[in-house]
Amino acid sequence: MRCPYCKHERSRVIDTSHDARGGVRRRRECENCRQRFSTYERPILATPLIVKQDGTREEFDRDKLIRGIRISCAKRPVSAADIERLVGEIEATLQAMGRAEVSSRVVGDMVIAGLKDLDQIAYIRYAIVYLGLDDLGAIRGEIDRILES
């Protein structure tokens, strides 16, 4: 592992811990400059292609999903760890499906369900775009459904 400070190629592992999703966090020390840094390793599993509404296909992009969720959670009390956890759960579910292609609607539905539990305002923000709520009546109807449940 290359040191992020001095770019030396050798470091020594000080501590290793595992998380619930199968990732490994390692605390390292550079053998040259003695600076300490952390690395995170997670297995690369095949995710299905995402089939968009217009029929085009694209690779699942974890960062793109995180950006979209962060936008809906802007200025809300939702931690980065909660967003990472939600995206991790969605990615794991897609991998567990074992399919080569999945509709973008499936991914959107998972995000909607996760945001509904995480933060209701973020859910409404995401739903306005995802569900195409284009007038106040439709938005109010969605808010009323949340308040009833």
The Cα 51–Cα 144 span in angstroms is 31
Q: Where are the domains of the chain?
A: 11-41, 49-148
Q: Which two tokens stand for residue 122?
A: 């973020």
Contact 37, 4 (CB under 8 A): yes
Weakest mean pLDDT among 82-86, 100-104, 131-135, 137-141: 131-135
| Interval 130-141 mean pLDDT | 86
DSSP structural state of residue 55: S
Burial class, 44, CB count within 10 angstroms (exposed 0-12 / middle 13-18 / buried 19+):
exposed
* Nearest-10 Cα torsion for 103, 107, 110, 112: -110
**pLDDT for the residue numbered 23:** 81
Q: Is the model more confident about 98 or about 63? A: 63
| Interval 53-63 mean pLDDT | 92
CA 39 to chain centre: 18
